[in-house]
Amino acid sequence: MIRVFINGFSTGMFLQLAVGPVFFLVLQITLQRTPLDGFCSVAAVTMVDYFYIFLAVAGAGKIIDKSVAVPVFRLIGVAVLLIFGIIMLVSAMSMAPESFFLQPVPDYRSSFFSAFFLTIASPMTIVFWTGLFAAKAVEHGYTKHMLMIFALSAGFATCFFLGGSVLIISIFKVSIPFPVVKILNVSVGVAVLLYGAGRAMVVSGRWKQGRLG
């Protein structure tokens, strides 16, 4: 069982290396607010990840993948990414030096729910987890109990990676000058917008193929 846990955790950590908009949001929250705000956002992301993992283990991914609602799910995800990207970019551009040097004001509820809604806006994640678990079950001959351990450890990697990132950022952000912080925040907003635009192009391409095919 320990080997299954390690396999799940290492797989989850490998997946975390492909940082996406959720990571950038956690980064921005930690830079602009307090370390506890950052950990609140990590808790939200972990909660949603485990929710999707539970649905994937239960087999919901197979149902969703064949559902006529899949294009709607994809469009919702793209819309949320673009909206968050715009909000993050506007917030970063309007950031003033005076506010940077003031004691950051915590907003735990906003930190939690912004990360929660951005993460849950990608319901197609269930399909991804379903495919991954099916592949691992075949590759290693996992039973359902072993697959559950694998899933729990893979999900824990999210908390470990993002929590560690928040801790590192919190330690070093006091020594980061304001211009660098502003550039980082603008870069985060641009990255999320580009990611959302990329997803929009993918969805548009699939929709055209569907119309033509």
List per-residue pLDDT tens for the chain, 213 residues long. 788 888 888 888 887 776 677 888 888 888 878 889 999 999 999 999 888 888 877 765 454 455 555 566 666 667 767 777 787 777 777 766 655 555 577 889 999 998 898 888 776 566 667 777 777 666 677 777 788 888 889 889 989 999 999 999 888 876 667 677 777 777 777 877 777 777 677 666 655 555 444
Tell me the torsion sign for CA atoms 129, 135, 139, 143: positive
Say what the pTM is. 0.73
Q: What is the pLDDT of residue 212?
A: 40
Q: What is the pLDDT of residue 56?
A: 78
Q: How far apart are CA 163 and CA 155, in angstroms?
A: 13
Q: In sequence order, which residues have a C-beta less than 8 Å from that of residue 171 and are 6 or more positions away? A: none
Nearest to 115 by CA among 84, 94, 86, 92: 84
Whole-number Cα distances in Å, 32 to 6, 48, 97, 175, 185:
34, 23, 12, 14, 9
> What single-letter DSSP state applies at residue 105?
P
Q: How far apart are CA 77 and CA 71, in angstroms?
A: 10
Q: In sequence order, which residues have a C-beta less than 8 Å from that of residue 11 and are 6 or more positions away? A: 132, 136, 150, 154, 157
